[in-house]
Amino acid sequence: MSEEYSEEMHCMFKEAAEYLEISLEDLQKLVAEGEIRAFYNGNVYHCVDPSTVVIEKVMFRRSDVRYVSEAGETWPYTIYSKRPKRYSAKRGQKQTVAAHAAYSGCTFYLDENRYYDVQNTSFNNCSFRGNVKFRGLYCCEFYNCGFNGKVSLYAVQHYRHFAHEEQSYIPIDYVYNLSFIDVLEIEACVEEELQMDGIEKLQKLSVLRIKGGNIRVMPSNIGELQKLSVLDFSNNHLFELGPEIGKCHNLSVLDLSNNYLEDLPVELHQLSKLSLLNLIGNPIKKIPNKVANMKGLSILHEKPF
């Protein structure tokens, strides 16, 4: 080991040995023999031999292990994989929540104005008091948990060019199985249209915001979200709004700004609670009379109708 890397390498080796549950001496021997060039801690591949690799950290989107060739390099070396250990939290009241933890019988009183980054954490028979905001939740488990306030989730969806950025990426099919969510915000930057199959499982949703999802047609399953009061599909590629939108009877705010809509379905007039319809940035040609004459509805658009 060269003097240049001695202090830095000692820290790397020590952290790697803890994750791999082997001694520091055994790890140094394996690296010297070329058996280990990196280790995986659940989110990041850490290089433990700077003299033989170019990239020090490579972010991956999935929790399962893949060879480092996914990063654009061909490294035919063995990669040992181990998720971070979860530390156990005793029963009692908590004012914060951490990643890589196991909570049992805890009552959480969290800051309602803060987003909590949580991954690889389990909650068993826990109670959350007040509103809760999460950013993350990937590989989290909830067993027999109660929420007496609204649960918000901020999720990031990026295509592969952004896979190495330190973003709160969550697979979209995983998000759609978090049935306790009340508010879902998806910040997307995808080449293909964002997958919407399965969103109908989020029956508690009252607020849904999806931006940058490259969505071209409003999915019909949106009509199954009966509790929606706010729907924001701004900054997508919508050119068609289907009649199913008329089934969202509790909708009060519909933001369709900055899309490609030319026409609107007459079924919008069935939304008796609708108070705001944002159409700014759309080449709207005509609004149906039944929609334009709805009582209490404010329509935002560049052109008067």
User: Three-state DSSP class for 53?
Assistant: coil
Answer yes or no: are the C-beta atoms of 21 and 27 closer than 8 Å.
Answer: no
Taking the C-alpha atoms of residue 266 and residue 258, their distance in angstroms, rounded to an integer, is 21
Cβ neighbourhood burial of 266 (10 Å; 0-12, 13-18, 19+) = middle
**What is the arithmetic mean of pLDDT over 58-70?**
32
Answer yes or no: are the C-beta atoms of 130 and 109 closer than 8 Å.
Answer: yes
At position 56, the amino acid (one-letter code) is E
* Residue 196 burial (CB count, 10 A): 18
Instruction: Give residue 187's pLDDT.
Output: 83
In 3D space, the residue among 23, 48, 45, 27 whose CA is nearest the CA of residue 37 turns out to be 48
Residues near 136 by beta carbon (within 8 Å), at least 6 away in sequence: 99, 116, 117, 118, 119, 168, 170
**pLDDT at position 76 over 60:** no
Instruction: Give residue 122's pLDDT.
Output: 87
Instruction: Give residue 211's pLDDT.
Output: 87
Q: Which residue did the predictor score with more confidence, 100 or 52?
A: 100
- Please calculate the CA angle 48-49-53 and round it to the nearest 5 degrees: 110
- Using one digit for the tens of pLDDT, what is the confidence trace for 164-218? 334 456 677 888 989 999 999 988 776 678 888 999 999 999 999 998 888 999 9
Angle between helix axes 6-20 and 24-32 (nearest 10 degrees) is 110
Take residue 244 and report the two structure tokens written for it: 């199913």
Average pLDDT along the chain: 76
In 3D space, the residue among 240, 271, 243 whose CA is nearest the CA of residue 256 turns out to be 240
The listed range with the strongest mean pLDDT (24-33, 75-84, 94-103, 166-175) is 94-103
Kindly list the structural domains of the chain, giving each domain's residue range(s) and its CATH number in brackets, ordered by start.
3-81 (no CATH), 150-300 (3.80.10.10)
In angstroms, the Cα distances linking 68 to 39, 57, 65, 77, 80 are: 11, 11, 9, 9, 11
